[in-house]
Amino acid sequence: MQRLLIPTDFSKEAENAIQTGLLVAKAFDATIVLLHVLEISSVDTIKTSSDTTLTGQMNIHEGLKLAQANLNRSITLHELDNKDIKLECYVRIGKPTKQIEESIENLKIDLVIMGTKTAWGLTDILLGTSTDKLLRKVDCPVLSVNQVVPIEALKNIVFPTTTHNKELNLIGVIKKFQKAFDSKINLVRINTPQNFIPDKESLILLEDYANDMGLKNYKAHVYGHTEEEDGIRAFADSIKGGLITISTSAHTGLWKIIQGSITKELVNHSRHPVLTMKMD
Task: Examine the fold and report which residue of 114, 145, 176 is the final residue of a domain before the chain moves on.
Answer: 145
* Cα–Cα distance for residue pair 173/161, rounded to 1 Å: 15
CB atoms within 10 A of CB 77: 11
What pLDDT does residue 262 have?
57
Q: Which of 135 and 96 is assigned the larger pLDDT? A: 96
Average pLDDT of the chain is: 81
The count of domains in the chain is 2
Check: CB of residue 280 under 8 Å from CB of residue 250: no
The string of pLDDT tens digits covering residues 133-143 is 666 677 899 99
Locate all alpha helices (DSSP H) within the chain, ordered by sequence: 12-28, 60-77, 96-106, 131-137, 151-154, 168-181, 199-213, 228-238, 262-269
Least confident stretch, 37-51, 148-162, 208-222: 37-51
**Above pLDDT 90, what percent of the chain?**
42
What pLDDT does residue 154 have?
93
The string of pLDDT tens digits covering residues 166-206 is 788 899 999 999 999 999 999 999 998 888 889 999 999 99
CATH code, domain with 164: 3.40.50.620
**Domain residues for 41?**
3-145
Pair (203, 117) in one structural domain: no
* Cα–Cα distance for residue pair 204/208, rounded to 1 Å: 6
**Above pLDDT 70, what percent of the chain?**
78
* CA neighbor of 20 nearest in space, from 188, 144, 191, 164: 144
